Amino acid sequence: MKEKKNNALAEIVSALMDANTVLIFPHISMDGDAMGSSAALCAALRKAGKTAHVVVEEELPDMVAFLDRGYCTENPALPGRPDVCVCVDCGEYRRFPKRKALFLSGALSICVDHHKTTTPFLDLNYIDGAAAATAEIMYDLISLMGVGIDAEIGGALYAGIVTDTGKFQYSNTTRKTHLIAAELHAVGVRAAEISILLYQNERMEKRLMESRILGEAELFAGGRAVISCITRKMLEETGGRLDETDGVTEMLRDIRGVELACLLKEKSPRTIKVSLRSKRDFDVAAFSEENGGGGHVRAAGFTAKGRSVEAVKAKLMRELEERLSCVAQPGK
């Protein structure tokens, strides 16, 4: 078997321009980058006269639903097998599990991704771990297609970039990220409206849940860490959902002096999901991996089974206090 390798973007563009039918596969639990990059590619391919669809296997998350302008379908009707299947913003079949058979039915397979952990595994691959978002790669790819990036394609790319860079604030943001954003403004992308659609559309129940989580917050490890929880009871009382805790975990991290924030989420009485965020130094990915989970260096998590929220909390506080004593204390 030939070893898979990274290809030139131009090879991938050639393959796409040679195709008549293209199916696009973003990962499950779609975020702004997966959906934005997929929508932009689909719009560009249609502009080039191709039959193209974004294939999904679950309802679109609220936050990104506005990006679907007729691109997404669970059952694409094609006359025969697709010419090309592209997986976007992911690099493993288990990131689109229910669509694997359809994906493999394509004559040619392509991966476009920016996750550092992805290695080439398809016929053609373009993986750039230095790209802040897959949408950055997609900007270059669509530019090479020569169809012209318009406000619709550009808006989808913008949503991808703004999501994966945390509004241009994460350390993955580069000079290139801003140069692309400048170009997207130039083609008429309504950036402020996209920001409203992405970030100003939270459920009231989420806010009430956040109120409770912030109210339960407790500093430990000499103020260098903070812990809070959301129990089944708190969910019932507020109407919040466990998939809505991202922002509030970051609010905990953003407390002065705090390096590490922990949020315990009671999925069921003895299944506790632990979300961890760090500011500068603490490797939460490594800690989560030790506990059977994973993630990024500054945002990761794991699941603790067989213990109550209180028991998980006590154990975590003990362990993390010890770990934090080994992490450099920043100057005041």
CA end-to-end distance (rounded Å), the chain? 57
Contact residue for a copy of itself among 211, 291, 303, 308 (CB under 8 A): 211
DSSP element (H, E) containing 310: helix 309-324
To a copy of itself, the closest distance from the beta carbon of 281 in angstroms equals 11
Contact residue for a copy of itself among 83, 210, 244, 266 (CB under 8 A): 210
Instruction: Answer yes or no whether residue 328 interacts with a copy of itself by CB under 8 A.
Output: no
Contact residue for a copy of itself among 200, 268, 326, 328 (CB under 8 A): 200
Instruction: Answer yes or no whether residue 171 interacts with a copy of itself by CB under 8 A.
Output: yes
Distance between CA atoms of 271 and 173, rounded to whole angstroms? 36
51 forms beta bridges with: 21
Nearer to a copy of itself, 93 or 170 (CB): 170
Distance between CA atoms of 35 and 90, rounded to whole angstroms? 12
| Cβ neighbours of residue 315 closer than 8 Å, sequence gap 6 or more | 307
Instruction: Answer yes or no whether residue 164 interacts with a copy of itself by CB under 8 A.
Output: no
Instruction: Answer yes or no whether residue 332 interacts with a copy of itself by CB under 8 A.
Output: no
To a copy of itself, the closest distance from the beta carbon of 17 in angstroms equals 29
Instruction: Answer yes or no whether residue 125 interacts with a copy of itself by CB under 8 A.
Output: no
To a copy of itself, the closest distance from the beta carbon of 115 in angstroms equals 19
Per-residue binder mask for a copy of itself (CB under 8 A), 300-319, x = binder:
--------------------
Instruction: Answer yes or no whether residue 18 interacts with a copy of itself by CB under 8 A.
Output: no
Distance between CA atoms of 110 and 315, rounded to whole angstroms? 45
How far lies 265's CA from each of 141, 238, 307, in Å? 40, 14, 12
47 forms beta bridges with: none
Residue pair 121/92 in contact (Cβ under 8 Å)? The answer is: yes
Instruction: Answer yes or no whether residue 219 interacts with a copy of itself by CB under 8 A.
Output: yes
Residue pair 250/258 in contact (Cβ under 8 Å)? The answer is: no
Nearer to a copy of itself, 75 or 200 (CB): 200
The C-alpha angle 98, 268, 244, rounded to 5 degrees, equals: 65
Instruction: Answer yes or no whether residue 175 interacts with a copy of itself by CB under 8 A.
Output: yes
Contact residue for a copy of itself among 217, 242, 317, 327 (CB under 8 A): 217
Instruction: Answer yes or no whether residue 174 interacts with a copy of itself by CB under 8 A.
Output: yes
CB atoms near residue 29 (< 10 Å): 10
| Cβ neighbours of residue 166 closer than 8 Å, sequence gap 6 or more | none
Per-residue binder mask for a copy of itself (CB under 8 A), 273-302, x = binder:
------xx----------------------
Nearer to a copy of itself, 103 or 158 (CB): 158
| Cβ neighbours of residue 26 closer than 8 Å, sequence gap 6 or more | 34, 35, 37, 38, 54, 56, 87, 88, 89, 90, 96
Contact residue for a copy of itself among 2, 256, 328, 331 (CB under 8 A): 256
Contact residue for a copy of itself among 81, 98, 116, 178 (CB under 8 A): 178
88 forms beta bridges with: 26, 112
DSSP element (H, E) containing 22: strand 21-26
To a copy of itself, the closest distance from the beta carbon of 271 in angstroms equals 26
Binding site for a copy of itself (CB under 8 A): 162, 167-171, 173-179, 181-183, 185-186, 191-192, 195-196, 199-204, 207-208, 210-215, 217, 219, 223, 226, 251-256, 279-280
